[in-house]
Each structure stands twice: as structure tokens, then as C-alpha cells.
Structure 1
Amino acid sequence: MQRKDFLTKTLLAVPAIALAGTIKAATNSTKEPFIVDAGKSRFGEDNKFMGVHPNDLKISGKDTDGHLSVFDYVGYAKVGPALHIHFHQDEIFTVIEGEYRFVVGKETHVLKTGQTIFLPRGIPHTWIQLTDKGRLIYFLQPAGKMEEFFSYMGTVKQRLSDEEMARIHEAHGMKVVGPPLTL
């Protein structure tokens, strides 16, 4: 009977030991606190949405072992992204300044300063700024390839074809499924 107990306990311990190794391996997050100043990006990169609107990375997936990234967007025009789907990330937006219209699936919401919206992965969504100036803090969880997407798009100087945009979105875990919103 002792041998059977030993074997049972050993077999039960193996997954626990393996899980402990996985948990330890997944704790490669930044070990020191840091501050990112207003108007600055985590690594000093100058990302601008549509070449104009600051889209500063505040917390990188490199800081969180890929679990989270945080951006600070300032808009100076009534624009927003094309209708798109994230296959692997949920998004959370908090309106810091201005008003925004969000479309998520078949629902439309107008958000004002201080409101937050959760956009689950796999649901088509977009937004448009309704005021002359606006500001959003938004989170992507997990971080995925969004930092790389914004970094690449910040270097684009000319309008890309629909096929090229589709390829870039696909390479970063997204798909464009419709045009941007208009007023």
C-alpha cells in the first residue's frame, strides 16, 4: 500500500512541479518601477497616428512579460481607425479629454471624459473623435504585436493600398473589416 501511495503522490506532484516552472518562467517582467513623462513614450520613440496624433507607449509588453501594454493617445482632429478585429487582444479605453463615438459589434456608444469602455477580442470595433481635441488612455491585454504595429505605421509616409494594409494588420493579429467612421 505504501508503494501505491508513493506512486500516486509522485504522479500528482509532477504537474505541480511543471506548473511552478511555467509560473517562474513567466515572471520576466520589469523588476524596477519607472516613470514616463507626459508627452513622452516609454523608449523615446515618436509614434504618431496618421502622422499627426501622438500615440505614446507608456507601459510596454516588454515590461509585463507580454501581458499588457498601455498607450496615451492625443487627437487633434475628428478621426479614428478603420473598423477592425483583434484576434488576440482585449482593449480598454478611458476618455481623458473630449468625446468619442465607439462602435463595437452592432452597438454604438458615445463616451465622455471619465468614461471607460471594454472591447473584447474577436468583435469588430472602431471609434471616432467627436471634439476638436481628445485624449485616450488605452490598454491592450495581452500586449501582442500592437507596439510593433504602431511603430511600423509611424514610419509610413504615403497612403497604403488596401492589400498592403490587410497584410500589415494580419501580421499584427488584426483584420480590417470596414472603413473608419465619419461624422
Structure 2
Amino acid sequence: MTQFFPTFDQTAEREPFWFLGGQARILLPGTATDNRLSLMEFADPIGHAPPHHVHENEEEVWFVLDGEVTFFVGDQRHDLVPGQVAYGPRGIPHSYLVRSPEGARIAALFSPARIEEYFRSNGISVAEAGDLPPEFDLGAVVASAEAFNLRVTGPPPTL
């Protein structure tokens, strides 16, 4: 039986970066799993929500670590608190909305991996940008999504 023990530079991979006004970190990159899966963490303020979008390649599982988050998957709404999980199948439009005043932290598992490269390529290092999220160009973020078979299908949900 072959055992698989991923090796990667955990310090470099886990450095936080700003993405669409929240912070993200890659906890387990696809390069460590033969691109079978990747794991990310998102720390977002109240009201944060990405535009509704579709992943054509990846299944996505969200695990709420802190705060209250509403997940929209297709025509379903899931109001989650810490310890609860939501699933976003590939090909189905989805988004989320942070509802708690203190913000929220979410772990997101993607399978297969590679989408973490999209987030990293559109992010700005916290070490470089500082404690406040820098301005971002939503048009550029949306335009770069096509290379990852990611489509924006609508505006972000609101409080």
C-alpha cells in the first residue's frame, strides 16, 4: 500500500492575502494532494459576499468556523453557525453572505484542486497591503475567472 504524505512549504502557503475585501489563506494547496483537493480559509467582515458564481470543475464544501453565514446554493438558502457545513456542487450557482457583526471565518474544501490559484492570483499579500483591505478591481477578478472555468452569474447577496 502506498502512503501519501504531502510536503509543501506551510509557512509560505499559509500567508494571508486580501481577496474581495476579506482575507484568505491556502491551508492545503493542490500541489500537496496531486490536485485531488485543496483547502482554504476565508475571514470576512459583516456584509461580505462574493458575486453569485458557478464552478464548472470543482465541488465545494464550506465549514463555518466562526460567525454566522448564509449560503445560497441554487434556489436554496442555508443559515449556518459555527460547526455547520454546506455543500456547493459543481455547475450550480452559489454565494454566501456574512451576517454576524464580528465577521466570520469559513474553511472551504475544493475538489479537485487548482481553484486556489485563482484566489491567490487575484489576491494582495496582507504583509504588503497592511491591515485594511486594498481597493480591488472586480472587473479584473471576473475576467480572470474564465481561465479557471468559473462564471459569475449574478450580483452578490446583500444583508
* Structure 1 contact 42–60 (Cα < 8 Å) conserved: no
1:42, CA displacement in angstroms? 5.1
TM-score normalised to the size of structure 2? Answer: 0.82
* Match among 75, 79, 89 for residue 58 of structure 2: 89
Instruction: Tell whether the 8 Å contact from 1:42 to 1:57 is kept in structure 2 after alignment.
Output: no
> 1: CA distance between counterparts of 2:81 and 2:25?
21
1:162-173 paired onto structure 2 within 5 Å: 164-173=140-149
Please state how far the C-alpha of 1:112 moved relative to its aligned partner.
Answer: 1.1
- Contact 2:14/2:27, CA 8 A, preserved across alignment: no
Verify the 8 A CA contact 1:42 1:56 in the aligned structure 2.
no
Structure with the higher helix share, 1 or 2: 1
Work out the CA distance in 1 between the residues paired with 2:47 and 2:138. Answer: 21
Aligned-pair distance for 1:73? 1.2
Q: CA deviation at 1:46?
A: 3.4
Are the aligned partners of 1:96 and 1:136 in contact in 2 as well (CA < 8 Å)?
yes
Say how many residue pairs are matched: 148
Q: Which residue of 1 is the match for residue 137 of structure 2?
A: 159
Give the counterpart letter for 1:159 in structure 2.
D
Q: What residue ranges of structure 1 are gaps of 5+ in the alignment?
A: 1-23
- Following the alignment from structure 2 to structure 1, what is the Cα–Cα distance between the partners of residues 141 and 6? 36
> What's the offset of the Cα at 1:160?
3.7
**Shift, 1:157, TM fit:** 4.6
TM-score of the aligned structures, taking structure 1 as reference length: 0.72
Is residue 76 of structure 1 aligned with residue 45 of structure 2?
yes
Deviations 1:96-139 (A, max 9, x none): 11111111111111111110011100000000000122111110
How has the CA–CA distance of structure 1 residues 119 and 42 changed in structure 2, closer, same or farther, with 3 Å as cutoff? farther
CA contact (8 A) 1:90 1:120 kept: yes
Q: Which residue is 2:108 aligned to?
A: 138
Q: In the superposition, relative to structure 1, how do residues 31 and 138 fare at CA in structure 2: closer, same or farther (>3 Å)?
A: closer
Q: Give the whole-Å Cα distance in 2 for the aligned partners of 1:108 and 1:49.
A: 24
Q: Is the 8 A contact 1:99 1:129 kept in 2?
A: yes
SS of the residue 1:114 aligns to: coil
Percent identity between matched residues is 30
Unaligned runs of 5+ in 2: 125-133
Compute the RMSD of aligned alpha carbons: 2.4
Q: Which structure dedicates a bigger proportion of its chain to strand?
A: 2
What amino acid sits opposite 1:119 in the alignment?
Answer: G
Whether the 8 Å CA contact 2:20–2:50 is kept in 1: the answer is no
TM-aligned CA distance change 1:49 to 1:77, over 3 Å: farther
